[in-house]
């Protein structure tokens, strides 16, 4: 059972912008814990895409950006490309559970 809620799927045409939401609560995102985003291709382990709410690791294109406000966070992909198709997961920490929490996951489809 996931503590952070994401839409099951989002889609867009090449070149468009899509946004994935990640809704938490006052014990995780709202408590000030950082939100991180992972991209996962079929059959592979998740790979870090955004860390600390809005920081891109080396090699991640600036088409990917993150933001956080209140008890929610968002991942935005601009200039959508065919190879952006993947599953995306948000992740944070929850102080009431004393553990790390993940989102429900979102599948991005390029139309």
By CB under 8 A, residue 38 contacts other proteins: yes
DSSP lists the bridge partners of residue 8 as none
CB 53, CB 68: distance < 8 Å: yes
Minimal distance, residue 24 CB to other proteins, in Å = 14
By CB under 8 A, residue 59 contacts other proteins: no
Nearest residue (CB) to other proteins, 44 versus 58: 44
Contacts of 65 (CB under 8 A, 6+ apart): 50, 54, 56, 75, 76, 78
By CB under 8 A, residue 24 contacts other proteins: no
Using alpha carbons, select from 87, 85, 80, 55 the residue that is nearest to residue 68.
55
Nearest residue (CB) to other proteins, 1 versus 13: 1
Minimal distance, residue 57 CB to other proteins, in Å = 10
**DSSP at 51:** B
- Point out which residues bind other proteins (CB under 8 A): 1-2, 6, 33-34, 36, 38, 44-46, 48, 51-52, 89, 91, 93, 95, 97-105
């Amino acid at each position: 059972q996931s503590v952070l809620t994401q839409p099951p799927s989002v889609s867009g045409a090449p070149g468009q912008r899509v946004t994935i939401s990640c809704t938490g609560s006052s014990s995780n995102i709202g408590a000030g814990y950082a939100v991180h985003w992972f991209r996962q291709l079929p059959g592979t382990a998740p790979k870090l895409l955004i860390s600390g709410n809005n920081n891109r690791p080396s090699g991640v294109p600036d088409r990917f950006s993150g933001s956080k406000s209140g008890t929610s966070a968002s991942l935005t992909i601009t200039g959508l490309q065919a190879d952006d198709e993947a599953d995306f997961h948000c992740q944070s920490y929850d102080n009431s559970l004393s553990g790390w929490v993940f989102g429900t996951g979102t599948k991005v489809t390029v139309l």
